[in-house]
């Protein structure tokens, strides 16, 4: 996604109506169609991305698991450089023997929100 690849995360996600996300750009999406669309919209304006998860911690409880950490990275959004550093929580569910994301939540990113605001303004 951070390199402009639409659909790049689709295999990692459950595709049900109960999946959710709360992105660093704000908002909340519910259901696979909305979650997919939100990642694809960011991919449309993103390039040159490199995102790493640091300070990772994972707990597994039966067929559910959660992961916390800090996402560090950089990417370009609409040609504007953005540095990332925000806390993240991912929740997974085992489906047919595979772990699938059912929830992704990060801190908001003032830098990403600022760039999106500039891209949406008439002066763009």
Dihedral sign for Cα 23, 25, 26, 29, please.
negative
Q: Where are the domains of the chain?
A: 10-120
- Residue 90 neighbours by CB under 8 Å, 6+ apart: 66, 67, 68, 101, 103, 104, 105
Beta-sheet pairing, 46-61 with 64-77: antiparallel
CATH 3.40.50.800 fits domain 10-120: no
What is the residue-averaged pLDDT of the chain? 93
pLDDT one-digit tens code per residue, 65-97: 999 999 999 999 999 999 999 999 999 999 999
Residue 123's pLDDT band, with cuts at 50, 70 and 90, is: low
Model pLDDT, residue 9: 84
What count of residues does the chain have?
124
Residue with the larger pLDDT of the pair 88 and 40: 88
* pTM score: 0.89
CA 57 to chain centre: 18
């Amino acid at each position: 996604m951070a390199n402009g690849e639409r659909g790049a995360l689709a295999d990692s996600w459950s595709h049900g109506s109960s999946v959710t996300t709360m992105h660093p750009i704000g908002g909340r999406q519910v259901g696979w169609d909305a979650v997919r669309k939100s990642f694809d919209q960011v991919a449309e304006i993103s390039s040159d991305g490199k995102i790493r998860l640091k300070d990772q911690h994972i707990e597994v409880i039966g067929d559910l698991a959660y992961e916390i950490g800090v996402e560090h990275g950089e990417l370009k959004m609409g040609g504007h450089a953005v540095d990332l550093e925000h806390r993240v929580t991912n929740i997974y569910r085992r489906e047919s023997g595979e772990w699938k994301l059912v929830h992704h939540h990060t801190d908001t990113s003032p830098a990403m929100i600022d760039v999106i605001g500039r891209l949406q303004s008439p002066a763009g």
